[in-house]
Amino acid sequence: MHPFKPTLFTLFSTFILAAASGNIQLDFPYFTTTNITFTGDSSLTNRIISLTKPTTFSTGAILYKNPVSLFDKQTNTTSSFSTTFSFSITNPNNPTSFGDGICFFLSPNNLSSTSSPSPSFSPFGLPTNFVAVEFDTRFDPRFNDPNENHIGFNIDTLNSLRTVDPIFNGIDLKSGNTITSWIDYKTDQNSLSVFLSYSGTTKPLEPILFVNVDLSEYFRDNEDVYVGFSASAEKSTELHQIESWSFYTIGFEPARPRLHSHNVSDNSVIGNAINGNGHISRSSNSKKRFGFGFGFAVAGPVFFCVVFSLLGYYSFLRWKVMKKKLLKDFEPGFVACPREFDYKELKSATREFHPSRIVGHGSFGTVYKAFFISSGTIAAVKRSRHSHEGKTEFLSELSIIAGLRHKNLVQLLGWCVEKGELLLVYDFMPNGSLDKMLYKEPERGKLLNWSNRFNIVVGLASVLVYLHQECEQRVIHRDIKTGNVLLDGNFNARLGDFGLAKLMDHDKSPVSTLTAGTMGYLAPEYLQYGKATDKTDVFSYGVVVLEVACGRRPIEREGQKMVNLVDWVWGLYSEGKIIETVDKRLNGEFEVEEMKKLLMLGLSCANPDSAERPTMRRVLQILNNEAVPFALPKVKPTLTFSSDLPLSIDEIVSDEDGDGCEEFNTSQSMCEIKID
């Protein structure tokens, strides 16, 4: 194994070297050019790797740039390994024609970066010496392929040692959907298992392909191997993409050193005397002390075992009572969560909730990235704060989102109530939150092109229609903002953080509550009367639409004054200059009429008069060109309330330039106002 000098990697990818055990862990929730070698036609676009181009005879491969050692000469042992990756195979130009597919491989060959496919590549895009798992989408009788949709295990030949058709498990490799594969090699069992699923988070219980194989000889002959992926389009224009990847090894545990005689301390003979015959003898006092010590040595551990057992039993009862009490407090409509996680498992997966694993902050908690070594999966763990508000938010989020299913929701995987902790486990969203993409790093903001942004707006509208009108009980989110809109590997919007959400019967009127949310996104009537409705969510959605189009925060400081985004856009709209509000980082690369429609839709949703706002269903129809946009007044309507807000906008909004703003925190403040 080559030595590695510790470095600080970017958020795009992570490489961890466990020097103590000789194991490695590669973690690429999304990609940059860091630590990746590109060959042939492979390329990087929007942090997703394309192994081929949508042209005929395209071939490409990627490798982790450093070799991996899977054999240890000192212990004569072979390492186990596991890898997880998400991929897609599409053919946008000709859906009826497909190429060779994708291979995950290990090879001693270090492929140098070239602008064209290497001549040493086989028809599948593989190097000449390899162990591979192929995801084949073409029937080629030369290699005894069973059909055009199969998974095969190969060693140094394209004639697979074993194949299986995943269609019997409901998986079509040519579907164009994102597919996740888990590949596990266990050296102690001489077995290789391949799992496959459309879900990127839930590993199937049974493998789709199982091979009894001993790879020790291969790795003994090829001590250092490179790991990566290859693909070939052959005569088609098949496009092969890798969206995320993790790889880790398990093994090389050093043998425990023997305890030699010179390591034993001679303190064990203190208090003994040597008589004239050379034998060890003890005085009467020594015998008494020995008897007392022996009695304490026996009774002491028994006593402490009893005490610890009682304490453990008491803690267990206390935990059961607390969990039972929490479950009693669930909102009506609660549906059982998919899984109750073990605290130790979550603690280990987050490296004991290490600060380096923090990826964000919710309304009343911190979100950690969790890597589950046993399954090779990645998740997000939300840790609620130890407070009354934290408990309330935990209960609200668990009881509401557990029963919801929509493609634009962050999927809840499970929960844990143990050791005084309140933990929720979610799908991990590799592209983070929308606000980070728009604001944190300008070079990352450019990745959100017009197509990405429009797709995000449509996805968010779709899930709000589901929450407001299609659920058994209407769900009012109450905290729609860019910080709570997460992005998956394809930049699809996923709404999260239901800590402030409320359930409401469809035929019931809203009741006044403590106003909660984020300033800049709160509807005027909600601030005034504290009544959350679907129309208050529509207002927040309108602000998000304007953010996405304009690349500006809802409230920004300009000099000594605060500028409201809705007021700013409406003012330029009144002057006939609404297109001047568009984010300059788009460089004019957008459809002008579509952008105008989007901006005016944002203003319609953010209308101060709630009666004039469209429903989310109407919004979705407008976005899909199924309905005409609302008529929008040239001048922003004004509303008059009986009492003024108790705080000025300058008092409410935090200073973005202050030193207290951490990397993962949004700059907006939480605001809770009671209106009498």
CATH at residue 66: 2.60.120.200
Please report the pLDDT score of residue 16 as a whole number: 40
What are the φ and ψ backbone dihedral angles of 60, each rounded to 5 degrees? -160, 165
Residue 293, domain member (yes or no): no
Task: Label residue 610 by pLDDT band (50, 70, 90).
Answer: very high
Give the Cβ contact number of residue 499 at 10 Å: 28
Calculate Rg over the CA atoms of the chain.
Answer: 31
Dihedral, CA of residue 138, residue 144, residue 146 and residue 149, to nearest 10: -20
Give the Cβ contact number of residue 378 at 10 Å: 20
27 and 60 part of one domain = yes
- Asked whether residue 293 carries a pLDDT value surpassing 80, the answer given is no
Residue 481, domain member (yes or no): yes
> Are residues 155 and 218 in contact, defined by beta-carbon separation less than 8 angstroms?
yes
**Of residues 416 and 313, more confidently modeled:** 416
Please report the pLDDT score of residue 390 as a whole number: 63
Please report the pLDDT score of residue 7 as a whole number: 31
**Of residues 419 and 625, more confidently modeled:** 625
Q: Which two structure tokens, joined as six digits, stand for 335?
A: 């549906």
End position of a domain, from candidates 428, 450, 469: 428
Residue 654, domain member (yes or no): yes
Please enumerate in sequence order all residues whose Cβ is within 8 A of that of 191, keeping only pairs 6 or more positions apart, or say none: 185, 210, 211, 212, 213
pTM, full prediction: 0.51
Of 284, 280, 260, 259, which Cα lies nearest the Cα of 270?
280
Best-predicted range by mean pLDDT among 104-118, 275-289, 594-608? 594-608
Give me the mean pLDDT over the 330-345 stretch: 65
386 and 497 part of one domain = no
Q: Which domain holds residue 528?
A: 432-676
- Asked whether residue 512 carries a pLDDT value surpassing 70, the answer given is no
Give me the mean pLDDT over the 313-339 stretch: 50
Lowest model confidence (mean pLDDT) among 126-130, 271-275, 307-311, 348-352: 271-275
- Asked whether residue 80 carries a pLDDT value surpassing 70, the answer given is yes
Lowest model confidence (mean pLDDT) among 45-54, 395-404, 471-480, 587-596: 395-404
Structural domains counted in the chain: 3
Please report the pLDDT score of residue 116 as a whole number: 38
Lowest model confidence (mean pLDDT) among 128-132, 288-292, 311-315, 648-652: 648-652
Helix (H) or strand (E) holding 231: strand 224-232
Mean pLDDT of the chain: 76
**pLDDT, tens digit, for every residue of 396-422?**
677 787 778 899 999 889 889 888 788
User: What percent of the chain is modeled with pLDDT above 90?
Assistant: 33
195 and 114 part of one domain = yes
- Asked whether residue 171 carries a pLDDT value surpassing 60, the answer given is yes
> Are residues 489 and 243 in contact, defined by beta-carbon separation less than 8 angstroms?
yes
How far is it, in rounded angstroms, from Cα 476 to Cα 384?
21
Residue 2, domain member (yes or no): no
**pLDDT, tens digit, for every residue of 43-62?**
998 889 999 988 888 899 99
> Are residues 339 and 333 in contact, defined by beta-carbon separation less than 8 angstroms?
no
360 and 493 part of one domain = no
* Residue 649 identity: I
Please report the pLDDT score of residue 305 as a whole number: 60
- Asked whether residue 618 carries a pLDDT value surpassing 70, the answer given is yes
Task: Label residue 220 by pLDDT band (50, 70, 90).
Answer: confident
183 and 330 part of one domain = no
Task: Label residue 254 by pLDDT band (50, 70, 90).
Answer: very low
508 is known to lie in a ligand binding site: no
Task: Label residue 631 by pLDDT band (50, 70, 90).
Answer: confident
Assign 632 to helix, strand or coil. coil
Please report the pLDDT score of residue 588 as a whole number: 92
Residues linked to residue 15 through DSSP beta bridges, in sequence order: 26
Give me the mean pLDDT over the 253-275 stretch: 34
End position of a domain, from candidates 428, 450, 477: 428
72 and 177 part of one domain = yes
Give me the mean pLDDT over the 143-147 stretch: 85
Please enumerate in sequence order all residues whose Cβ is within 8 A of that of 341, keeping only pairs 6 or more positions apart, or say none: 414, 415, 416, 423, 425
Best-predicted range by mean pLDDT among 161-170, 270-279, 367-376, 583-592? 583-592
Assign 639 to helix, strand or coil. coil
End position of a domain, from candidates 409, 428, 447: 428
DSSP H helical ranges for 468-615: 524-529, 534-550, 565-574, 592-605
**Of residues 133 and 297, more confidently modeled:** 133
- Asked if 479 is an active-site residue, the reply is yes
415 and 450 part of one domain = no
370 and 410 part of one domain = yes
Residue 597, domain member (yes or no): yes
Task: Label residue 519 by pLDDT band (50, 70, 90).
Answer: confident
Give me the mean pLDDT over the 541-570 stretch: 92
Catalytic residue among 479, 488, 497, 537: 479
Inter-axis angle of helices 592-605 and 565-574, nearest 10: 120
445 and 374 part of one domain = no
Residue 277, domain member (yes or no): no
Assign 121 to helix, strand or coil. coil
Give me the mean pLDDT over the 223-233 stretch: 89
Give me the mean pLDDT over the 364-374 stretch: 84
Residue 49, domain member (yes or no): yes
Residue 213 buriedness (CB in 10 A; 0-12 / 13-18 / 19+): middle
376 and 450 part of one domain = no
Helix (H) or strand (E) holding 503: strand 502-504
Please report the pLDDT score of residue 219 as a whole number: 85
CATH number at residue 415: 3.30.200.20
CATH number at residue 548: 1.10.510.10
DSSP H helical ranges for 272-415: 284-328, 343-349, 388-401
Lowest model confidence (mean pLDDT) among 12-16, 103-107, 290-294: 12-16
Residue 1, domain member (yes or no): no
451 and 331 part of one domain = no
Residue 606 buriedness (CB in 10 A; 0-12 / 13-18 / 19+): buried
Give the Cβ contact number of residue 556 at 10 Å: 16
**pLDDT, tens digit, for every residue of 526-550?**
888 788 889 999 999 999 999 999 9
61 and 185 part of one domain = yes
